[in-house]
Amino acid sequence: MTRRYEFERSARSTAPVDVVWPLVGEAARWKDWAWMTRTFLLREGDPPPDGVGALRRFAVGPGGSQEEVVAWNPPRHLAYVAVRGLPVRYYRADVHLEEDGTGTRITWRCEVEPLIPGTGPALRLVLGRMVRGFAVRVWRYADRSTGGGGSSDGGGSG
């Protein structure tokens, strides 16, 4: 059995939770702040459009991933699993937004099982950097939207 690896990355935005949530909760908004060129729904979820069961497509050029929303608790928690497009047997991300003073603490917690045994540490490093990039980019975008200046702790477990 292949081992699962976990990691966590966090950042803090000066923007309130209700400003940050739509950026991570709505698939169509990811292209506003992430490096993806196309972000959209292939299937609506419950509640429509981005809730549980929504199938999201995130792409850069012809490459990209498909992810299914498995938890939807606005404006605090979003979880999704990779369905296609990542070199993994299993990938789940839980994004938590917590009030932090007048701002928001953004935490991505991930669990990954590599497709190829022995590649877990490298995969965790690459995906950890990608997820840290998500956290940093969303706080920067949210802060620009509200005129604030957040920070990244750059750390986390894993």
Q: Is there a domain that residue 43 lies in?
A: yes
CATH number for position 144: 3.30.530.20
Task: Indicate whether 157 belongs to any domain.
Answer: no
Q: Which residue matches tokens 């991930």?
A: 110
The 38-43 sheet, strands edge to edge: 38-43, 55-60, 63-73, 77-84, 88-100, 103-114, 5-13, 151-152
Q: How many CA atoms lie within 13 A of 135 on its CB side?
A: 30
**Containing H/E element for 141?**
helix 120-146
Mean pLDDT calculated for residue range 125-151: 87
* pLDDT tens figures, 2-30: 789 999 999 999 999 999 999 999 999 99
Residue 52 lies in a domain: yes
Domain count, the chain: 1
Q: Look up the pTM and report it.
A: 0.90
> Exposure string (b/e) for 70-93, b if CB count within 10 Å is 16 or more?
bebebbebbbbbbeeebebeebbb
For residue range 51-101, list pLDDT tens digits in order: 999 999 999 988 899 999 999 999 999 999 999 998 899 999 999 999 999
**Domain that includes residue 52, residue range:** 5-152
Could you give the 3-state DSSP secondary structure of residue 23?
A: helix
Q: Looking at the domain assignment, is residue 158 inside a domain?
A: no
Predicted local distance difference test score (pLDDT) of residue 157: 45
Q: Return the amino acid letter for 31.
A: K
